[in-house]
Amino acid sequence: MRRVVVTGMGIICPLGAGVDTVWQRLVEAQSGIGAVTAFDSRDLPSRIAGQVPAAALPGPQAEENRAGQFAMVAAQAAIEDAGWRPVGPEAEEMAGICLGSGCGRLKALHAHAQQHHGIPGGLAALPFPEAAMIHELACEVARRFDLRGPRRAVSTACSSGAHAIGDAARMIACGDATVMLAGGAEAAICELGMAGFAATRALSSAFNDRPAEASRPWDRARDGFVMAEGAAMVLLEEYEQARRRGAPIHAELAGYGMSGDAHHPTAPAEGHAGAYRAMAHALRRGGLAPAEVQYINAHGTSTPLGDDLEIEAVERLFGDAAAGLAMSSTKSATGHMLGAAGAAEAIFAILALRDGIAPPTLNLDAPSRRTVIDRVARTAQRRPIRAVLSNSFGFGGTNASLLFRAA
């Protein structure tokens, strides 16, 4: 199997656009969460969200293709960071894309349904909007950058971005491609998206007057996740090719683990056994023992059940090594970007590895569970970091864990 490395990164999220800008704000413990401005949310129980700042988007904002616009910004940045473009038919045919999204162009689909509501013939006469296909997001980026190799769209709820990166790495490892653009994009902050998640009672509603305090993983006062939007993309490359062309190598994607709970539509299985298996598979693929990992970017959504179960799974896997481990949830600053979360957090894990900095968990004032794991409460920490895990666990019990190390 061929080695796979990360040579480019791009991100746009509630903390802004650009890897350096976002990372600095994250390390400085800034929050990107505020009151919803995208629509009138006064009738919803949750009226806060992590929205991409208008100034972060180049040119006019395309409201009904916001996910596509985010994906394009992140993809362009990742390609420029890697200093890569396909030159000639052969290079184009060995370069592909794997893009994840939980909801796709949700606002476009909602607007389309509203526009045609009540037409003669009912649903049978409703034309199908091309924009409704999550795959079209991948197609749009592929057309823009002449990516004629493998093309996949991944929709595994909140694990979509992480699964997209892991699946893309396997395509390179198996020889189906030499370069893959991979990550996730999400733009679900609209009436349909917010109302839908509110109906499941998954969203925070106790901090509408204090938005920056709403996302508080592992804290006793947590009451649900905060919806967010954005996109993150990495350029994955076969190691020998990257080395030959003198590419900047940010990290090696050493392991990728997956699992399914087969348990419940939203709740994780007892003890978060699926999370345990995903992390264990990633470590085994990478040939590392738990004690060789110094930092985990947790899924940590700020939900009453999932947060503490993730700690339980990590403690079970790491055993005595848990005492030397740092684990933080960057969703405390960004909110939960759903299908883009795993890709953004993979980038944060890579940056932790690069700079030797564990980013903080904001709002962790009164932990609901004791643990020997350092959850990096409120303030970033400098520490030696040689290998990192990034966890993503989605509704329906779909789990992914990515292992990165220095190349």
* 18 vs 86: CA distance, rounded Å: 23
Q: What is the pLDDT of residue 59?
A: 77
C-alpha torsion sign, points 217, 203, 161, 260: positive
Q: What is the pLDDT of residue 264?
A: 73
* Domains of the chain, each with CATH number or no CATH: 4-405 (3.40.47.10)
Please confirm, yes or no, whether 190 is among the known catalytic residues: no
* 389 vs 369: CA distance, rounded Å: 21
Report which residue type is found at 217: P
Token pair for 355 = 């700079």
Q: Name the catalytic one among 103, 158, 174, 190.
A: 158
Q: What is the pLDDT of residue 60?
A: 74
The candidate with the shortest Cα–Cα distance to 299, out of 218, 221, 372, is 218
Residue 10 has φ and ψ, to the nearest 5°, of -145, 145
Q: What is the pLDDT of residue 206?
A: 97
Q: In order along the chain (407 residues), what is the average pLDDT of each group of 10 residues?
A: 96 98 98 96 96 90 84 98 92 96 77 56 51 84 96 96 98 98 96 91 96 98 98 98 96 97 72 90 98 98 94 97 97 98 98 98 97 98 98 91 96
Q: What is the pLDDT of residue 277?
A: 96
The candidate with the shortest Cα–Cα distance to 191, out of 339, 35, 62, 43, is 43
Q: What is the pLDDT of residue 117?
A: 53
Q: What is the pLDDT of residue 64?
A: 72
Report which residue type is found at 148: R
